[in-house]
Structure 1
Amino acid sequence: MAVAQIGGEDEVYLNGDYVEANFNGGGIAKFHEFISSNLDHSKITKPGKIVFTFTISESGEIKNLRIVEFPYIEMATEIIRVINAAPKWQPAKRGGKSISLDVRFPMDFSTRSKEN
């Protein structure tokens, strides 16, 4: 299971002024679902954890993708391929204006099942 950290300073204190980014009608869980369903699981040959970061731009595009932790290069390459194929997000909004948002996203994989 992935638990992503979506960055921002004070979302809790904005009294409803902040609107989360949206991916395919959902949030980060929908993005995790997209990645899992589009991975070529034959390239995930060993268990391991991968952590990547990216920015959801004001236009909803994924930018600044960085793989910050990975057990082997084939896993990292496959994750990059899937993320680059992802549709745009609906960007987060603050005060009615679209804002960019930094995301840190970990995923764990095991060889017994397709993912944890």
Structure 2
Amino acid sequence: MKKLSIITLLMATICLTANNISAQNTEPQELPFSMVEQKPTFQGGDANTFTKWVFSQITYPEIAKKNGVQGRVTLQFTIDTTGAVTNIKVLRGVDSSVDKEAVRVISMSPKWEPGRIKGKPVNVVYTYPVVFSLK
């Protein structure tokens, strides 16, 4: 009888663990921008609409100006199923001051229209360069 109880308890534990693992795997995956049928859109515009918005929000850091820091900060972020910008990462930075400014601006982004596959919203990974130039 004791053996039966231990076996039953062991089986219940295995089933609960398997159920938990299965539930974790149902989270939406992130797809590259090029793989979605309907690309995310920013405020109903084309690709230039987002670029114009970004550059209207950038404040060139004074320390970067003083030190002549220029260059391209490459960011990666996710446009999630609600259109929010999440998971912002610096893939290739220039200097901490301009890297932080690029992340700050992208994190302020208004919601996008999410990307879709077969009509359903999906998480989309987007790579975006922000150029800092002292011209």
Shorter-normalised TM range = 0.7 to 0.9
How far did residue 31 of structure 1 move? 1.5
8 Å CA contact 2:86–2:107 kept in 1: the answer is no
How far did residue 69 of structure 1 move? 1.1
8 Å CA contact 1:8–1:102 kept in 2: the answer is no
Choose between structure 1 and 2 for higher RCO, CA contacts under 8 A separated by at least 6 residues: 1
Once the two structures are superposed, residues 81-102 of structure 1 have per-residue CA deviations (whole angstroms, 9 ceiling, x without a partner) of: 1111110111011111111111
Could you tell me which runs of 5 or more consecutive residues in structure 2 were left unpaired when the two chains were aligned.
1-31
How many residues are aligned here? 100
| Code of the aligned partner of 2:51 | H
Runs of 4+ in structure 1 deviating by more than 3 angstroms, as ranges, are none
How far did residue 42 of structure 1 move? 4.5
Once the two structures are superposed, residues 27-53 of structure 1 have per-residue CA deviations (whole angstroms, 9 ceiling, x without a partner) of: 432211111000113445221111000
CA RMSD of the aligned region, Å?
1.7
8 Å CA contact 1:55–1:62 kept in 2: the answer is yes
Matched, 1:85 2:104: no
Superposition pairs for residues 25-104 of structure 1, below 5 Å?
25-43=44-62, 45=65, 46-104=69-127
More strand as a share of residues:
1
Instruction: Report the counterpart of residue 22 of structure 1 in structure 2.
Output: 41
For the residues of structure 2 that align with 1:31 and 1:24, how far apart are their CA atoms?
Answer: 8
Could you tell me which runs of 5 or more consecutive residues in structure 1 were left unpaired when the two chains were aligned.
1-5, 12-17
Matched, 1:7 2:33: yes
TM-score by length of structure 2 reads 0.67
Larger Rg: 2
The SS at the match of 1:106 is strand
The SS at the match of 1:23 is coil
More helix as a share of residues:
2
Once the two structures are superposed, residues 5-43 of structure 1 have per-residue CA deviations (whole angstroms, 9 ceiling, x without a partner) of: x6243x5xxxxxx22211012143221111100011344
TM-score by length of structure 1 reads 0.77
The SS at the match of 1:60 is coil
The SS at the match of 1:58 is coil
